[in-house]
Amino acid sequence: MYFASPMKVLMVGSLLGLVMAPLVVQSGEEDIIKYRRNVMKAVAGHMGAAGAIVQGKVGYKGDLASHAGALQALMHDIPGLFPKDSDFGETNALDAVWSKRAEFEKRAKDAGSKAAAFAKAAQGGSAGAAFKELGDTCKGCHKDFRRKED
């Protein structure tokens, strides 16, 4: 009779794990998830910097249009960052992103227009109101479509 040693079971187990892992999450999708999280982080970076200028915490008024322009560019197609099959793996996106797609797209479109409005306002003088309206779109979408990190 043949008894598999615990060591062998462990080795076969981890080999299987290696073989199975790519089947569970295809690397293309993992890369997309990483990419969109980095885009969101970039968006947050520009928001933080723009906020400090708008609130008068720092000078750098000459940079405001750059931050606002970057936000407009990065937020022009948020749904494009959430293709089908990118709903598992290292993501905090809720199922609602896919199951309530029409609502998600509506929020994304609204956020895109608010970013465009902020970019326009940033070229003039006071952009505080437009900045706040844009910030509200981030919060609103995260509340319904993003898992809270503990």
54 contributes a contact to ligand HEC by CB under 6 A:
no
Stretch that binds ligand HEC, among 11-19, 22-30, 43-51, 119-127 (CB under 6 A): 43-51
* DSSP of 80-115: GGS-TT-SSSS--B-THHHHTHHHHHHHHHHHHHHH
CA–chain centroid gap for 71, Å, is 13
Q: How far is the CB of 22 from ligand HEC (least distance, A)?
A: 20
**Which member of 111, 116, 119, 130 binds ligand HEC (CB under 6 A)?**
111
32 contributes a contact to ligand HEC by CB under 6 A:
no
137 contributes a contact to ligand HEC by CB under 6 A:
yes
Cβ distance 115 to 135 under 8 Å?
Answer: no
Cβ distance 112 to 75 under 8 Å?
Answer: yes
* Region label for 56, one of left (φ > 0), alpha (ψ between -120 and 50) or beta (otherwise): left
107 contributes a contact to ligand HEC by CB under 6 A:
yes
In this complex, which beta carbon is closest to ligand HEC, that of residue 13 or of residue 80? Answer: 80
In this complex, which beta carbon is closest to ligand HEC, that of residue 15 or of residue 42? Answer: 42
Distances from the Cα of 59 to the Cαs of 13, 28, 89, 134, in angstroms?
Answer: 58, 42, 41, 21
Which residues partner with 146 through β-bridges? 93
Which residues, 64 to 103, sit near ligand HEC by CB under 6 A? 78, 91-93, 97
Residues that bind ligand HEC (CB under 6 A): 33, 36-37, 40-41, 43-44, 47, 78, 91-93, 97, 104, 107-108, 111, 134, 137-138, 141-142, 145-146
